A and B are shown apart, each in its own frame.
Chain A
Amino acid sequence: MNSETLNTLDTYSKNKYKYGFVTDIDNEKPKKGLNEDIIKFISQKKNEPDWMLDWRLKAFSKWKKMKEPKWANLSFPEIDYQDIYYYSAPKGFEKKPKDLSEVDPKLIETYNKLGIPLEEQKVLAGVAVDVVFDSVSVATTYKGELEKLGIIFCSIGEAIQKHPDLIKKYLGSVIPPGDHSFSALNSAVFTDGSFVYIPEGVKCPMELSTYFRINAENTGQFERTLIIADKGSYVSYLEGCTAPKRDDNQLHAANVELIALEDAEIKYSTVQNWYPGDEDGKGGIYNFVTKRGLCAGKNSKISWTQVETGSAITWKYPSCILKGDNSIGEFYSVAITNNFQQADTGTKMTHIGKNTKSKIISKGISLGRSQNTYRGEVSFLRKAEKARNYTQCDSLLVGNQCGAHTVPYIDSKNNTAVIEHEASTSKINEDQLYYCRQRGLSHEEAVSLIVNGFCKQVLQELPMEFAVEAQKLVSISLEGSVG
């Protein structure tokens, strides 16, 4: 064989290898679009039993007949559901940065401001973690401890395999797949999420967080979380990461279901900080989340705390159905919108049982050209004797290009129930600002301090380590828009 032939053969074989490799990856990723095949593909990928596939397909057939809810005070272009990947293997497989020097410096700067340790920064920036940071071992240590107490904490996919009875009983019991179009969509195509079961009488000794699992499974855009607190148990759950995880998914439609049985308590905290789009309002996440908790048993309690600073569009109403007598629902929220962000967020408290109580504290801050809406419903059904609600929603406006809106719905069908609602809208108090400036703070620092004070009622409800970061997050969100 002459050298020319060898060369040709060499090139040919290399080429073939290259193409073959690409084809393999293509097989891993289904095509864009939503149809029954995709759902079957997802179900198969996750190794799901038939009943789960049926459940998904049923949800899908419902979704096909539904329209998106349009009542929110949001404007965005029509979502093309056929232009989205519904199953993606860990994203950026080939393009993962090798170390922090390859990560966007802007992102690193933010991490530093939040005071996140270097190791964690690597995780969040998506650096190939298993090499640098052995969080698997961290996760397993916790897992062992939880298992001793009988607590089940795993991904929803694993739960479908290992705990089909619990899944069959509770999945979709609080948010039926046919509730509205986003819940149907999520039920059809959800790929990941957490499952928590706290057995009777167990007080979970630590704050459970998705963070422990972050390198094991990449949180999908259609997350499904199910938390069940059995009689007399307690759990505090932290959702998401506190640091800005750049994510180029356009649409997030997560579903979160909480079930608290007799005397149980669930505390659910979220700090949402997804990519809000740039200064001109380009890009950013559409966040359509359904979160609902059911206080099924007597004396149960569900408490939602959220700090919303990210996403181009936020459509989120963590709500409580207070079915058990003496049950309590709480909602604490801070929503900050900047630039061209739009947030329509609030809660829904449905009082069914006797002596049920609910409390809503909502703080909205609008800056730049953003629109921030509080939308909340409190309803007392006929049997909700002696039920009680207190709602407070305050809005703060910074700049004259933004909007703050309050849309409460109050419905009382019981004459022993008492409901109180108050709201106020104002700008930052000049006197307070003057006082801070006098003491040597810059305008920006002063605004940040006042806003933090304004949100304090909510921030103090967050678990300790979350609270510190949330406070810093608030300051970062305000950056560049004041003064």
Chain B
Amino acid sequence: MNIQDNYLKNKKNIFFSENKDIQTYREKLINIFENDRFDKKNNESLKNINIKNFTDFKYKYLISEETSVINNNQENSYSIVSVNGQCSSFKDDKIEITKILDEDYNDFSKNDTIENNDHFVNLNSLFLNSGFKIVIKKNHNIKIKISNIITDDDLTIFQKNNYICEEGSSLNLIEEYENKNNSTSNLLNVIKLEKNSQLNHFLIQDNSPNHNLIITTHSSCKKDSTYTQKVYNFSEGYVRNFHYSELIETNSEADLQGIFFLKDNNTSNNKTFIKHLAEDCKSNQVYKGILNDRSKATYFSNTYVDQVAQKTEGYQLSKGILLSDNASYFSKPELKIYADDVKCSHGSTIGPIDENAIFYLRSRGMSKIAATKILISSFINEELSSIDDEQMSEMIQKKLVRYLSKVK
């Protein structure tokens, strides 16, 4: 079934469909899809994607009987189980969680991403059927862990989450995606960091081969705020990680990092985009990928420095290791700079594991496989060792060992 049919048929089940403004907006989107049918030739971001999966799908959504749980297990620490993208409301003096439907629709309808030409974000706006909003109250230091659970097969989840970190607050956010069914999840996170706030965002992705995950983040940072994101993609299914960050006031910082481990026929598309719109801001984009078998990956990174954004520091680094001769990696690190007092750079490398290093280890009596494994671990060690949370670090180590066990 194509997008238009899906929309017309399921219109009444989609959120905010009774609102006129949103309806006209959605009709506009429908028109876009009619005119520009995921044109692969002129849109690099669609490289390697099996587009049919996303244009001809069967819309299916149900609110599960299993209810979501919010636990305040320790002080300042919460764990949330979101079921099919839904989450029940909760409120105390530190945080406030609201269901998407209880919220003012304007918050959700606005399409805040930098790139308004993103088909997947448009799909999300069109079929929006779940999501929630979390507000961290002023000057609180909070840790939240969200487990995303999808209950049935063949569900199509279009979820939008809003996060607001109020002035002086700090949030450690861990999101887990571990799904074993054949669903498609299209998630849009919109994050707002107020003055002097901080957000450490961890995304752990480990889905089964038939699960598609499309995740887009849009964060905007006000004065003295810091947004750090770390993505660990161990998924065996398709994952699209597109993360945008806007530095809108002075002295703010954005750090987007990611590691992906691919094998078999899997593909992954990654993009980071940082827009410097104010003076004295810093940004960092680091992506590392390990590709085995016939896997394919793309990584687009982009640093945009506006004319007013003097004293900017923006760095990009992309590294890829190809373990098999059928794997392929495409990277496009882009710089767009309109201010002169800046320090910006990018680096990109793609290649095999260093043969000299393998030789060194083998001459010390190690087997080739053991040497390869050690070198892969060391390739990403910097990222792994920077994880403070012991529990999480252990979990990631386990997943890494599982990935390495398949390396031959």
In the assembled complex, 26 residue pairs joining A and B whose CB atoms fall closer than 8 Å, in A order, are A397-B339, A400-B339, A400-B341, A404-B335, A404-B337, A405-B334, A405-B335, A406-B335, A407-B334, A407-B335, A410-B332, A410-B348, A411-B329, A411-B331, A412-B329, A415-B351, A417-B352, A419-B348, A420-B348, A421-B346, A421-B348, A422-B346, A424-B345, A425-B343, A425-B345, A427-B342
In the assembled complex, B325 has its CB within 8 A of some CB on chain A: yes
Q: In the complex, given contacts A405-B334, A415-B322, A422-B348, what are 15 additional A-B residue pairs having Cβ atoms less than 8 angstroms apart?
A: A397-B337, A406-B334, A408-B334, A410-B330, A410-B333, A414-B322, A416-B325, A417-B351, A418-B352, A419-B348, A419-B351, A420-B348, A423-B345, A423-B347, A424-B345
**Interface check A398, CB cutoff 8 A:** yes
> Residues 34-51 of chain A: 1 if any B CB is under 8 Å from the residue's CB, otherwise 0?
000000000000000000
Name B's interface SS: strand
Considering the chains assembled together, what is the distance between the CA atoms of A418 and B349 in angstroms?
Answer: 7
**Does A426 sit within 8 A of B, measured CB to CB?**
yes
Closest 5 CB pairs of A and B: A415-B322, A418-B351, A397-B340, A421-B348, A424-B345
* Pairwise interchain contact B334-A411, C-beta atoms closer than 8 A: no
Pairwise interchain contact B341-A423, C-beta atoms closer than 8 A: no
User: Which B residues lie within 8 Å of A400 (CB)?
Assistant: 307, 310, 338-341
A419 CB contacts on chain B under 8 angstroms: 348-351
On whether the beta carbons of B350 and A412 are closer than 8 Å, the reply is yes
How many B residues are at the interface, by size bracket? 20 to 34
- Cα–Cα distance between A426 and B334 once the two chains are bound (Å): 15
Tally of A-B residue pairs with Cβ under 8 A? 113
Does A410 contact B350, Cβ atoms closer than 8 Å?
yes
Partner of B337, one of A395, A415, A420: A395
Q: Are A421 and B340 in contact (CB under 8 A)?
A: no
List of B residues within 8 angstroms of A406 by Cβ:
333-335, 346
* B329 with A399: CB separation less than 8 A: no
Partner of A401, one of B307, B328, B335, B345: B307
Q: Are A412 and B341 in contact, with the CB atoms below 8 A? A: no
A278 CB → nearest B CB, Å: 23
Instruction: Flag if A427 contacts B332 (CB, 8 Å).
Output: no
With contact pairs A402-B340, A410-B331 given, residues A382 and B325 touching in the complex (Cβ less than 8 Å): yes
Task: Tell me whether A19 is interfacial, beta carbon within 8 Å.
Answer: no
Known: A406-B335, A412-B322, A415-B324. A397 touches B342 (CB 8 A): yes
Give the B-binding residues of A (Cβ under 8 A): 382, 395, 397-427
In the complex, what's the smallest C-beta–C-beta distance from A68 to chain B, in angstroms?
14
| Nearest chain A CB to B316 CB, angstrom units | 9
Would A426 and B343 count as touching, CB distance under 8 A? yes
Point out the residues of chain A lying under 8 angstroms from B258, CB to CB: none
Q: Are A405 and B332 touching (Cβ within 8 A)? A: no
**Are A398 and B335 within 8 A (Cβ)?**
no
Q: Which residues of A contact B327 (CB under 8 A)?
A: 415
Docked Cα-Cα span, A398 to B8, in Å, equals 55
Closest to B348 in A: A421
Contacting residues of chain B (352-398) with chain A, CB-CB under 8 angstroms: 352
Q: Which of A401, A417, A423 contacts B333 (CB 8 A)?
A: A423
Chain A residues in 8 Å Cβ range of B331: 410-411
B400 CB–A CB distance under 8 Å = no
A398 to B343, CA, bound (A): 13
- In the assembled complex, which residues on chain B have CB atoms less than 8 Å from the CB atom of A401? 307
Give the residue among A398, A402, A411 with the most B Cβ atoms within 10 A. Answer: A411
Contacts A400-B310, A407-B332, A415-B325: A425 and B337 contacting too (C-beta < 8 A)?
Answer: yes
Question: Are B340 and A398 interface neighbours, CB within 8 A?
Answer: yes
Chain A residue numbers with a CB within 8 Å of B328 are 411-413
B187 within 8 A of A: no
Are B325 and A403 in contact, with the CB atoms below 8 A? no
What is the CB-to-nearest-CB distance from B44 to chain A, in angstroms, rounded to a whole number?
8
- What is the bound-complex CA distance between A409 and B331, given in angstroms? 6
Cα distance A411–B336 when bound, in Å?
21
Contacts of A413 in B (CB 8 A): 328
Give B284 Cβ to nearest chain A Cβ, in Å. 15
Question: Which residues in A have their C-beta under 8 angstroms from that of B134?
Answer: none
**Dominant secondary structure at the A interface:** strand
Residues of A within 8 A of B347 (CB): 420-423
Cα distance, A395 to B337, chains bound together (Å)? 10
Residue in A closest to B308 when the chains form the complex, CB atoms = A400
Q: How far is B351's CA from A416's CA once the two chains are assembled, in angstroms?
A: 6
Task: Say whether B323 faces chain A, with CB atoms less than 8 Å apart.
Answer: yes
Residue of A404, A406, A415, A421 with most partner-chain B CB within 10 A: A415
Does chain A have a CB within 8 A of B46? Answer: no
A406 to B348, CA, bound (A): 13
Chain B min CB distance to A358 (Å): 14
A482 to B306: give the CA distance in the assembly, Å. Answer: 21
How far, in whole Å, are A416 and B325 apart by their CA atoms in the complex?
7
B320 at the interface (CB under 8 A from A): yes
- The chain A residue sitting closest to B325, CB to CB, is A415
Q: Are B325 and A409 in contact (CB under 8 A)?
A: no
Can you name the residue of chain B whose Cβ is closest to the Cβ of A377? B332
A382 to B328, CA, bound (A): 9
Q: CA separation between A402 and B342, bound complex, in Å? A: 13
Q: Is B344 an interface residue (CB 8 A)?
A: yes
- Complex Cα distance, B307 from A403, in Å, reads 9
Complex CA–CA separation, A144 to B115 (angstroms)? 62
In the complex, how many angstroms separate the beta carbon of A268 from the nearest chain B beta carbon?
A: 27
Chain A residues within 8 Å of B348, by CB: 408, 410, 419-422
In the bound complex, how far is the Cα of B100 from the Cα of A210, in angstroms? 70
Tell me which of B330, B344, B346 contacts A409 (CB under 8 A).
Answer: B330
Q: Are B332 and A409 in contact (CB under 8 A)?
A: yes
Across-interface contacts of A403 in B (CB, < 8 A): 336-338
Q: Would you give the shortest CB distance from B406 to chain A, in whole angstroms? A: 16
Looking across the interface, which residue of chain A has its beta carbon closest to that of B332? A409
Q: Chain B's nearest CB lies how many Å from the CB of A262? A: 27
CA distance A414 to B330 in the complex (A): 11
Choose one: B324, B325, B335; the contact of A423 (CB below 8 Å): B335
Residue in chain A with minimal CB distance to B331: A410
Question: How far is B329's CA from A413's CA once the two chains are assembled, in angstroms?
Answer: 7
A421 with B349: in contact, given A412-B322, A415-B325, A427-B340 (CB under 8 Å)? yes
Residues of B within 8 A of A414 (CB): 322, 325
Closest Cβ of chain B to A339, distance in Å, is 16
Residues of A within 8 A of B344 (CB): 424-426
A476-B312 Cα distance, complex, nearest whole Å: 30
Provide the bound-state CA to CA distance between A399 and B337, in Å: 12
**Residue of chain B at shortest CB distance from A415:** B322
The distance in angstroms between the C-alpha atoms of A88 and B339, with both chains bound, is 43
Residues of A near B307 (CB, < 8 A) are 400-401
Cβ–Cβ contact B333 & A408, under 8 A: yes
CB-defined contacts of A397 to chain B, threshold 8 Å? 337, 339-340, 342
Nearest-Cβ distance from residue B352 to partner chain A, whole angstroms? 5
Rounded to whole angstroms, the CA-CA distance of A403 and B320 in the bound complex is: 29
With both chains docked as a complex, state the minimum distance between the C-beta of A412 and any C-beta of chain B, in angstroms.
Answer: 4
User: Do A426 and B350 touch across chains, with their CB atoms under 8 A apart?
Assistant: no
Contact between B336 and A420, CB atoms less than 8 A apart: no
- In the bound complex, CA of A458 to CA of B352 (Å): 30
Chain B positions within 8 Å of A424 at CB level: 343-345
Q: What is the chain A residue whose CB lies nearest that of B345?
A: A424
In the assembled complex, the CB of A55 is this many whole angstroms from the nearest CB of chain B, namely: 28
Residue pair A408, B345 in contact (C-beta under 8 Å) = no
- List residues of chain B with CB within 8 A of the CB of A412: 320, 322, 328-330, 350-351
Q: Nearest-CB distance from B145 to chain A (Å)?
A: 36
Residue of B nearest to A405 (CB): B336
Cβ–Cβ contact A415 & B345, under 8 A: no
Interface centre among A400, A401, A408, A425 (most CB of B within 10 A): A425
What's the Cα separation between A412 and B349 when bound, in Å?
10
Contact pick for A408, options B310, B332, B339, CB 8 Å? B332
In the bound complex, CA of A431 to CA of B348 (Å): 29
- Is the CB–CB distance between B346 and A423 below 8 Å? yes
